[in-house]
Structure formats: C-alpha cells, structure tokens
C-alpha cells in the first residue's frame, strides 16, 4: 500500500499551494505569509471533540449533553478558507498532491498532542463511493504517518452503508444515518490497541463517533480522531 500511495502523490514543485509564489519549503508547500494566515484552531477547545469554546466550560454544548464514545478528537484548523478550499481541491477536483501538505499539517498537530497511538486508521469510504472517486481522501491523508513509521490499517474496518447524503442533514439525522455504517472485520488486529482515526473534516462528529463505537465493541482500547479541519457548528 505504501508504494501505491507514493506514486499517487506527486510534488507540486516549489510554488505556494495557496498564492502560487515561489518558495523553498517542500514540506508544507505554503509560503510564510499564507501559512501565518491559515485558520488555525486557537484558544480553548472542548476536551472531547476539539470544538473551539468561547466560555469557561471544559466541554462544548453537544459533548456535555451526550458524551461521544471516542476519547478525544482534535484538528489543526477550523473549516474556513483557504484550508476548506484545499480540502475541496483534494476531494472533488482530484488534486491528490494537496494531500501531502494536509497530511504533513495533521501529523504536526498530532505530534504536538503527545498521544500514545499504536495504529492509524483512515475513515473508510463505502466501496462504490471510493471506486467512483478513485481514491479515499482519508487514506491519502495518512501519507505522512506512513513516512514517519506509523502502522496504518486500511482493511480491518469497512464501511457497510452508503451515507453520501450527510451534508443536508442535522446533527441528530447524521447520527441516525451513521448507525451501523461501519463493521470491524478483523477484531484481533485492533484488540487492545490505541487507534487514531483520520478524516478530512469533523462536522458533527457522527462519523468518528459511529466508527469509535464499533471499534470499542471490537476491543480497541482508546479511539482518537484527527481531522484536517473542524466545522464550527452554530449553537
Ligand atoms: Zn502563499
Ligand atoms: Zn465537544
């Protein structure tokens, strides 16, 4: 698998992915000026889901009401331009080289968290969906983790329900829609492991939560969720 992904991702040269200016940095491929303007998650966040919090509370309104099953989720960015544009380029325009930048950015965020993780699991896509797109963007986002020597598991858990209508749904509808969406097909491989899930965007947490539930039932010790960007839900 590692060889396959290396062939898929090709460097975009030494031009800033955002403004197109010439740069010397081939890690993030974003110039200093654009980098400093990226919509980083700043300040206090919900200890459970990583949502920015603008009060003294430790948890956001949703996590306080019903605690999600995962241990903790986090993201380096809020879902705003130009990060949202880069994610769009990757997912819908098939610009796979963007994955390298986004993958390096989430690896940096992950390393700052100092978490013990045994295996990295990209959120699986429904098979026909992946065939249609030609790739799973979450899997492409694990590239930097592969390079850093992490174990990636892309086969022990599968998506058994096509849930492609999420965008128009409310938080409750999304949660219902995600019920029975995933199945662990190799429990032994993940048993007692600390798992890090990778996805492009955290919207309501329904995907991470559903996946985390089946993984915990399968004997996984801890489930963490890392996404590129966290959507700020209006409350
Ligand atoms: Zn730039
Ligand atoms: Zn929360």
pTM, 2 dp:
0.90
- The tokens for 155 are 């086969």
Whole-angstrom Cα distance, residue 140 to residue 91? 10
> What CATH number should be reported for the domain holding residue 208?
3.40.50
Neighbours of ion ligand 2 (CB under 5 A): 46, 48-49, 51, 60, 63
Three-state DSSP state, 223: strand
Residue 26: inside a domain: no
Residue 184: inside a domain: yes
DSSP states of 58-90 as a string? SS-HHHHHS--SSSEEE-SEES-TTHHHHHHHH
Structural domain of 101 = 41-230
The pLDDT value recorded for residue 10 is 44
10-residue stretch averages of pLDDT, the chain, 235 residues long: 41 78 82 94 94 92 92 97 96 89 96 96 92 93 96 95 70 77 94 98 93 97 98 70
Residue 12: inside a domain: no
Compute the distance from residue 126 Cα to the ligand 2 centre, in Å: 26
User: How many structural domains compose the chain?
Assistant: 1
Residue 15: inside a domain: no
Compute the distance from residue 184 Cα to the ligand 2 centre, in Å: 25
Cα angle 66-189-152, degrees, rounded to a multiple of 5:
80
Residue 28: inside a domain: no
């Amino acid at each position: 698998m590692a060889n396959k992904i290396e062939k898929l991702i090709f460097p975009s040269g030494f031009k800033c992915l955002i403004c197109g200016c010439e740069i010397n940095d081939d890690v993030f491929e974003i110039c200093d000026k654009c980098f400093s303007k990226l919509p980083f998650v700043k300040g206090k966040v919900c200890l459970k889901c990583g949502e920015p919090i603008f009060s003294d509370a430790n948890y956001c309104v949703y996590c306080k009401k019903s605690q999600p099953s995962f241990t903790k989720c986090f993201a380096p960015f809020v879902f705003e331009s130009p990060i949202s544009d880069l994610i769009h380029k990757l997912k819908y325009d098939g610009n796979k080289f963007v994955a390298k930048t986004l993958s390096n950015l989430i690896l940096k965020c992950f390393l700052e968290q100092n978490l013990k993780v045994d295996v990295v699991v990209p959120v699986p896509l429904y098979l026909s969906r992946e065939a249609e797109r030609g790739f799973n963007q979450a899997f492409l986002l694990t590239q930097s983790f592969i390079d850093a020597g992490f174990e990636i598991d892309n086969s022990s858990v599968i998506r058994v329900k096509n849930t492609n209508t999420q965008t128009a749904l409310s938080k409750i509808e999304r949660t219902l829609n995600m019920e029975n969406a995933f199945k662990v097909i190799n429990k032994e491989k993940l048993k007692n492991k600390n798992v890090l899930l990778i996805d492009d965007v955290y919207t309501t947490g329904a995907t991470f939560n559903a996946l985390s539930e089946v993984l915990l039932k399968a004997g996984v010790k801890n489930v963490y969720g890392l996404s590129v960007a966290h959507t700020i839900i209006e409350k």
